[in-house]
Amino acid sequence: MKIQAELSRRSILKSLAASLALPGVVSGASGQSQKPGWNTAIGLNGFASAARKYRKGFPIWEILDFASRSGFDGVELVSDWPAGGYPAGSEADRIRALRRQYDAFGLKIFSLQLGAGGAFAPEEAARSKWLEEFRDRAQLARALGCDCVGLWPGGGLRGQTIDQAAAHLGRSLGEAAKIAGDLGLVAAFEIEPPFVFNTEQHMQRILERANQPLLKVIYDPSHFDLMNGSTGRPHEMLQRIGVSNIGYLHLTDTDGTLRDGGTSKHLPCGDGHVEIARSLQILREGGFRGWVMIDEWEIPDPYDACTKGMRAIQQAWREGGARR
C-alpha cells in the first residue's frame, strides 16, 4: 500500500509539473499535446562543474524543482555532488533516502556516472577488483530504479600500449555490460579528448574487443564532433558507429574546440555549430527510444542549457511527426 501511495503521489506530481512546464509540449497531428518519444533528463554534472568553475550556488531543491516544472522525466547523478558519495549497494536506508528526494519531485534517477579507470589497468587483479566494485554500483543503480549506468574510462596507460589498454578495457566493459544486463540495466561508455582513448578508431576497437552487444556508447555531439574533425557534423560519426550501439545521449552543442585545454567545449543547443536537429532526426529514424540527458558541463548557466536542450528535443520530435 505504501509503495502504491508513493507511486500515485509521484504520478500526480509529474502530471502537475507537465501542466506547468516552461518549454511546453509538442503538439500532435490531432491537435492534442504529446510528450517527445524519448525520456528526458538533466545532468547534475553540469551544475556541479558550473558551481566549481564559476563559483555559483545551485541548491539541489532548486534544480529538482526546475527540472520537474520544465517537464523533464529524470536526472543523472554524479558522485560527490552536491554532498557525499554514492551509497554502497547494501546501504538500504541511505538508498531509500536518496531515492525519496527525487521521487518527491516526480523525477526518476535514470543513471549514475561511474569511473572506469580500473577497467583497463595492466594488472588482472586490478581489473577484477574494478569489476567487483562495478557489481556493487550496478546493484545500487537497480535499487535506485535506474535504467542505465554511464562509464568514463579516464586515467593513464600505466606502461601499456594503447592497443593493450583498449583490449583490457573492451573485455572489462563487456563483462560489466553483462552484469548490468542481468539487472535490467544498460551499460554505456563515453570517451573524451583528454582521455587516452579519444578517437573514433579507439571507440570501434573497444566495442570489438568487448564483443558484447549489451555494451553501448553514450552519444555526446561535442565529443563526436571533435573526433569527426570539428566539422559541426557529429551525426556522420554517429551513423558510422550505428544508432543500435547508442545507449543514451548527453545532448549538447559545441563550437568544435576544447574548453580551457580540457574536454570538448559544451554549449547550449543552438549556440554552437553542430547540426543538432540532424543528429536527433537520425536517432529517431534509427529507432532510438531511450534517455536524452541535457549535458551542461561547465556551461555558466546550466538552466539556460536545459531549457534550450528541451526546446531542441521538442522541435525534433514535432518535425519528425510532420514528416511521417
Model confidence at 30: pLDDT above 50: no
Model confidence at 248: pLDDT above 80: yes
The pLDDT assigned to 317 comes to 87
pLDDT tier at 8, thresholds 50, 70, 90: very low
Which residue has 503538439 as its cell numbers? 27
Domain spans of the chain, in order of start: 42-213+285-323
Question: How far is the C-alpha of 320 from the C-alpha of 323, rounded, in Å?
Answer: 5
Model confidence at 23: pLDDT above 60: no
**Taking the CB of residue 302, how many other CB atoms lie within 10 A of it?**
29
Model confidence at 167: pLDDT above 50: yes
Average pLDDT estimate for 303-307:
98
Model confidence at 268: pLDDT above 70: yes
Question: How far is the C-alpha of 277 from the C-alpha of 312, rounded, in Å?
Answer: 7
Model pTM score:
0.90
For 42-213+285-323, the fitting CATH number among 3.40.605.10, 3.20.20.150, 3.30.70.360, 3.30.70.20 is 3.20.20.150
Q: Please give the biggest Cα pair distance in the chain.
A: 61
Model confidence at 32: pLDDT above 50: no
The pLDDT assigned to 34 comes to 54
Q: Which residues lie below 8 Å from residue 182, measured CB to CB, with a gap of 6+? A: none
Query: What would the grid cell of residue 31 be?
Result: 491537435
Question: How far is the C-alpha of 220 from the C-alpha of 293, rounded, in Å?
Answer: 10
Which residue has 505504501 as its cell numbers? 2
Average pLDDT estimate for 34-48:
91
The pLDDT assigned to 33 comes to 44
Determine what percent of the chain is predicted with pLDDT higher than 70: 88
The pLDDT assigned to 67 comes to 98
Quick check: helix, strand or coil at residue 63?
Answer: helix
